[in-house]
Structure 1
Amino acid sequence: MDLDFVCVHAGRPASGLTRRDVARALLAVPSGVALVALPDLRRALMAAGNPLSPPFWESAKATLGAIESGVATVGDVQRWMESTGTEPLLLTRGFFVWPEEDERGPVGREMFARLVAYLEERVTAGEIDPDALARGDEAARERYTGIQESWLSSPLPDGRVPVDAVSEEQDEELVAAWDEEEAFALSELRRILAELPAPERPVRELRAAAARLREVLTRPGYPGNVLRACAGYEGEPLPADDEELWLSVTAGIAGPISDLPEENDRLEVFSDLDHELSHEDAVLAALCAIHHADWLAAVAALARRGPGVLASPERIARLIAESEDIDVDLDEPEDLEAAETLFSSVTPLWACLGIVDRTEVLTPLGRWGLPKALERAWSHSSDG
């Protein structure tokens, strides 16, 4: 490692290198190599007329030494990078977090580069003191934090607010990834169902289950409020058709459409971070936490085995782990326990719909309707 390496790594001539440029280059090689190269690199930069400062070199030696001895934490290294004066804070006071470097989209990369350039201007103007940051001066750190917070929340000349622009791009990426995962799960579900004989529609069971469901949905509290939220039926008339009603509610369990109504007392609970979630909120949170792959593995396994198979949370977790249709990583006991816990919120709702009986055994109605409902839940984005 030498000065040429640093210049190439930073994409700048030696005279224009910043503390951040040098720090990033030092971290790009093994710490032992960087420590050995440090004295020569310092001399070379002095000869190039860009000596940086003694506090920077001292902090570099201390940080690289801690890395080499195995006592430096990720946070220690990040804070050292930030003490260069031009490294954006990983976490701001407003809880904004930059995406990892290899996970930033075009907007994220642009805004990050803009902030680095802005911080370089502030260092040149004397508004940021990297030497004070390197010495751990808390007042300097506070000013450094405030400068970044202000820039992130202020409109650029084109009107974009950096923190909003980056967050919106992340949201779009998450939605795109979710849609892609859902489309794949839907195609796999349809492939699996095409290999199985179509079950007969259980007319009497469906009629009876729909009648019970209509009663449940009119009652206050659990489970009616959760099932209404799952299907998005708050304040709307229920479908007259039994099959439409039953399938929409069953599909909503795999993909809840709305949250519980926001009432004043519930808002007060959410504002209290130490307060535990209500049972209904915990159930909805569990439903939303189940991955597409887990739903696919569970429903496919139940469809293959047919009525009479045990569909308890414990059994469903095992069926997912042993899935013939999709590779789900549930190798560790804690993974199985987590899946069992999530599906503990599902099976009581299935019982309300007649999908499982009182002993948590799959019914003919469940075998007929579960695959249809899952396909319905995943078809809204791909089929329009």
Structure 2
Amino acid sequence: MDLEYVRAHAGRRVTDLTRRDVARALLSVPSGMSLVALPDLRRAMAAAGNPLSPVFWDSAKEILLQIEACVATVGEVQRWVESTGTEPILLTPGFFIWPEEDERGPVGEEMFSRLVRHLEERVRAGEIDSDALLRGDQGARRAYEELQDRWLNTPLPDGRVPGFAVADEQNEELMAVFEEQEAMALSELRRIVAGLPRQPELPVADLEVAAARLRVLLGQPGYPANVLRACAGFEGRPMPDDDMELWLSVAAGVAGPISDLSEEDDTVEEFTDLDGEVSHEDQVLAALCEIQYADWVAAAAALVRLGPGVLASPERIARLIAESPDITTEVDMSDPDELRGSERLFAAVVTLWGHLGIVDADDVLTPLGWWGLPLALERAWSPKEY
């Protein structure tokens, strides 16, 4: 660790090195090595005409000593780097969160670099007091945070708003990951169903009874009707007249909820109360959305292979997932907490399945469930047309 290393690490001339450049270089090697090199590095920077400030060097020594003693937290190190005056804040007061460095896409990397340059300009203009930030001045910190929030929400000359541009890229990347996982789950489901010794047959009478009961239920207020309507996307639009279409729409929605609960009946106080209790309906929808594709495939594969009459309780499903020969899941049978977590998620599923007739009152898979479960998952995971 020497001045040449810092220059190469930052990719700029020694006279242009900033506190941030030096801080990042110091943190890129073991803290003990940085501590040993710190005095010589300080002298070399001064000799090169870029001495930085005593406050910076003192703060660098302090944080490196804390790191070496294993008492510095990740947050403390992050805040120190931010306090150099040209490091974008990881979480702004406006709740914008920068992606981790190795997770930034091209747009995220571009906007991050643009903000660094903007902050460097503000430091040169005297609008950012880096020494005050390093001393922990709360007023300087607030001004620093507000400056970054303003930049993130101010359109660039090309019309893009930095914060929204980064968020849009993250959403696109997340959707691409979901679509890839969905396609893999669908492919595996089709392989498993195609390999069944006997294909499930539609129990016509059972479907008619289940659909008639479902129509009545969906017209009622409260749980579970409101959750099932949200799952199927029926809020604000009519239900299908066809029994099979109705049943499959709702069953597919349990595996892939289409919409949120209606907020028409929420009061302003309920909507804005962030500390209020989460409703049972919201907890159920959250559980459905939390289930991984791999767990759905593992559960469905086991149930359709075992066929009607198999116990499909939450506890049994959790074990079927953990024992699945088809999918590598995160459920560890040796860990009771993980099994209970899986049981908790599928408790919401099995309850809703009961209203659809997929399982009976004893949580046993029905002929209707055997026929309809793979078709519902096929529908839930097939590419959507918007």
Q: TM-score range by the shorter chain?
A: over 0.9
Name the stretch that deviates more: 160-169 or 98-107.
160-169
Verify: 1:102 aligned to 2:102, yes or no.
yes
Verify: 1:149 aligned to 2:149, yes or no.
yes
Please give the alpha-carbon distance, in whole angstroms, between the structure 1 residues aligned to 2:267 and 2:346.
25
Equivalent residues in 2 for 1:1-384, closer than 5 Å: 1-196=1-196, 197-265=198-266, 268-331=269-332, 332-381=335-384
Look up the SS of the partner of 1:98 in the other structure: coil
Letter in 1 for 2:266: D
Provide Cα deviations, 1:49-72, integer angstroms capped at 9, x if missing partner: 111111111000000000000000
Provide Cα deviations, 1:19-63, integer angstroms capped at 9, x if missing partner: 100000000000001101111111111111111111111000000
Displacement of 1:266: 5.2
Gaps of at least 5 residues in structure 2 are none
Please give the alpha-carbon distance, in whole angstroms, between the structure 1 residues aligned to 2:123 and 2:235.
55
Please give the alpha-carbon distance, in whole angstroms, between the structure 1 residues aligned to 2:331 and 2:290.
15
Please give the alpha-carbon distance, in whole angstroms, between the structure 2 residues aligned to 1:238 and 1:162.
41
Residue 375 and residue 131 in structure 1: after superposition, are their counterparts in 2 closer, same or farther (change >3 A)?
A: same
Look up the SS of the partner of 1:344 in the other structure: helix
Please give the alpha-carbon distance, in whole angstroms, between the structure 2 residues aligned to 1:318 and 1:365.
23
Please give the alpha-carbon distance, in whole angstroms, between the structure 2 residues aligned to 1:236 and 1:122.
53
Name the stretch that deviates more: 113-122 or 232-241.
232-241
Please give the alpha-carbon distance, in whole angstroms, between the structure 2 residues aligned to 1:143 and 1:185.
48
Look up the SS of the partner of 1:358 in the other structure: coil
Please give the alpha-carbon distance, in whole angstroms, between the structure 1 residues aligned to 2:262 and 2:134.
50
Displacement of 1:187: 0.7
Displacement of 1:240: 2.4
Please give the alpha-carbon distance, in whole angstroms, between the structure 2 residues aligned to 1:199 and 1:299.
13
Letter in 2 for 1:109: E
Please give the alpha-carbon distance, in whole angstroms, between the structure 2 residues aligned to 1:46 and 1:70.
30
Aligned pairs, number: 383
Look up the SS of the partner of 2:88 in the other structure: coil
Displacement of 1:119: 0.6
Displacement of 1:264: 4.2
Provide Cα deviations, 1:88-118, integer angstroms capped at 9, x if missing partner: 1111111111000000011110010001001
Please give the alpha-carbon distance, in whole angstroms, between the structure 2 residues aligned to 1:137 and 1:355.
62
Q: Following superposition, which runs of at least 4 residues in structure 1 exceed 4 angstroms of deviation?
A: none
Displacement of 1:295: 1.0
Displacement of 1:267: 5.0
Displacement of 1:237: 3.1
Task: Please give the root-mean-square deviation of Cα atoms over the aligned residues, in Å.
Answer: 1.4
Please give the alpha-carbon distance, in whole angstroms, between the structure 2 residues aligned to 1:262 and 1:349.
21
Please give the alpha-carbon distance, in whole angstroms, between the structure 1 residues aligned to 2:140 and 2:240.
63
Displacement of 1:84: 0.7
Please give the alpha-carbon distance, in whole angstroms, between the structure 2 residues aligned to 1:227 and 1:249.
6
Displacement of 1:373: 0.6
Look up the SS of the partner of 2:97 in the other structure: coil
Gaps of at least 5 residues in structure 1 are none
Please give the alpha-carbon distance, in whole angstroms, between the structure 2 residues aligned to 1:192 and 1:314.
23
Displacement of 1:270: 3.1
Letter in 2 for 1:368: W
Residue 229 and residue 266 in structure 1: after superposition, are their counterparts in 2 closer, same or farther (change >3 A)?
A: farther
Residue 204 and residue 267 in structure 1: after superposition, are their counterparts in 2 closer, same or farther (change >3 A)?
A: farther
Name the stretch that deviates more: 155-164 or 215-224.
215-224
Please give the alpha-carbon distance, in whole angstroms, between the structure 1 residues aligned to 2:281 and 2:78.
40
Please give the alpha-carbon distance, in whole angstroms, between the structure 1 residues aligned to 2:86 and 2:102.
19
Name the stretch that deviates more: 201-210 or 61-70.
201-210
Letter in 2 for 1:105: G
Letter in 1 for 2:157: P
- Scaled by the length of structure 1, the TM-score of the pair is 0.97
Displacement of 1:236: 3.1
- Scaled by the length of structure 2, the TM-score of the pair is 0.96
Displacement of 1:180: 1.0
Look up the SS of the partner of 2:365 in the other structure: coil
